[in-house]
Amino acid sequence: MTANNFNPNNFWEHRLTKVKGLEGVGYSKLGQPFNNWGYKVRKKAFLNVIQDLHFDFKNADVLDIGSGTGFYIALWNALKAQKVSGVDITEVAVNNLKSKFPESDFLQLDIGADIEAYIPQLGKKDFISAMDVLFHIVDDKRFEKALMNIAALLKKGGYFIYSDNFLKDQTRRTQHQVSHTQEHLYYLFEKAGFELVQHKPFMVLSNYPVDSKNKLLHAYWFVLENTLALIKPLGHLFGALLYPIEVALLKAIKDSPSTEIVLLRKI
């Protein structure tokens, strides 16, 4: 299925020019303070998966897709990866990334397009990350093409770390986001030549419960979202209160009502 009258390049170029920092790449309605805490949760979940590999990153060549503000570029650098590069669909993000991380290479690229000409330039990678990115590809053919492109950019045995919503019932679509079912995503992973290594919660209470029908959970999110939309500085308080709960839940549960994270290995 293809979403009509939606230009992702224009949408994200406008949004990232207008809304700066993590608020621009995160849940903008909730404001910068809450998004800052939300990204602390994401960092914890990301590192939980990566560090389980006990991998020595000093020789790792890493590519981050949809780098945005460079949040995951900084995480890969903190892991002391030998080479870290990134791609983004927007010119504004690429220009900002080049200034912020002059030691890394950045390229304006749509991962859902035909990228064969860029593969020699980008090279084969040991790790690729695409965090909260691919569900913004609203055209199903381009989404599948993105997974194929990522597989083409990985070395055999290389790892792809990725977050999505993994719905249990049916695909849900909005103008700029598509949440696919877990069954369909697993099918596409296999088709692209990946095997599943890990599948864990990414966020639990700090994001919209897209994969839950629990009325109490949705009521909680309705109150939180609309309160912070009106009084964004309260995000400091709510985020600080939720963070230790989120960290505990990331370890305690296997299935999240919200976004989840997977680690895939190219066969």
Q: pLDDT of 110-136, one tens digit each?
A: 999 999 999 999 999 999 999 999 999
pLDDT at residue 16 is higher than 90: no
Nearest to 107 by CA among 134, 98, 116: 98
Fold of 8-266: Rossmann fold (3.40.50)
Predicted pLDDT at 25: 54
pLDDT at residue 46 is higher than 90: yes
pLDDT at residue 3 is higher than 60: no
Predicted pLDDT at 175: 86
Average pLDDT of the chain? 92
Terminal alpha carbon distance of the chain: 28
Contact 137, 178 (CB under 8 A): yes
Q: pLDDT of 221-262, one tens digit each?
A: 999 999 999 999 999 999 999 999 999 999 999 999 999 999
Tokens of 71: 């949040």
Average pLDDT over residues 66-80: 95
Predicted pLDDT at 27: 77
Percentage above 70 pLDDT, the chain? 90
Q: Band of the pLDDT at 266, cuts 50, 70, 90?
A: very high
Burial 160-191 (b: 16+ CB within 10 A, else e): bbbbbbbbeeeeeeeeeebbbbbebbbebbee
Contact 201, 256 (CB under 8 A): yes
Q: Band of the pLDDT at 176, cuts 50, 70, 90?
A: confident
Is pTM beyond 0.85? Reply is yes
Hey, what amino acid is at 100? K
Predicted pLDDT at 22: 59
Q: Band of the pLDDT at 214, cuts 50, 70, 90?
A: very high
pLDDT at residue 152 is higher than 60: yes
Predicted pLDDT at 2: 45
Rounded to 10 deg, the angle between the 215-230 and 31-51 helix axes is 130
Predicted pLDDT at 13: 63
pLDDT at residue 85 is higher than 80: yes
Percentage above 90 pLDDT, the chain? 85
